[in-house]
Amino acid sequence: MTIETSSFDIAEHLQTDADIQGFLKEIAETGDSSDFLHALNIAARAKGMADIAKQIGVSRASLDKSLSENGNPRFDTVAKVCQALGVKLYVDAAPL
């Protein structure tokens, strides 16, 4: 007997701004920088990569490349994507 599986795409389950914001907050609190960049990609796809790209003034292809697994986005790009998704980046003291 063969078991059929399907891929799970988190972006399909982030349906509201609150879902996206909560997802990014959780990853920021529990993941590392590569996890956060991956989460930004997922969140941008959930919201609409083309819409996010337009809001921040870059092409969809450029944004997709920046947020890809092998991408290396500038801090400015990350900050603009965060703003377009309704979240803020801030610095807080880490426990020593």
Domain membership flag for residue 7: no
pLDDT tens digits for range 63-92: 999 999 999 999 999 999 999 999 999 888
Domain membership flag for residue 90: no
Domain membership flag for residue 3: no
pLDDT tens digits for range 47-63: 999 999 999 999 999 99
Output the pLDDT for position 94. Answer: 80
Domain carrying residue 55 = 16-84
- Global confidence as pTM: 0.89
Q: Are 43 and 23 in contact (CB under 8 A)?
A: yes
Domain membership flag for residue 41: yes
Domain membership flag for residue 74: yes
Q: Are 66 and 35 in contact (CB under 8 A)?
A: no
State how many domains the chain has: 1
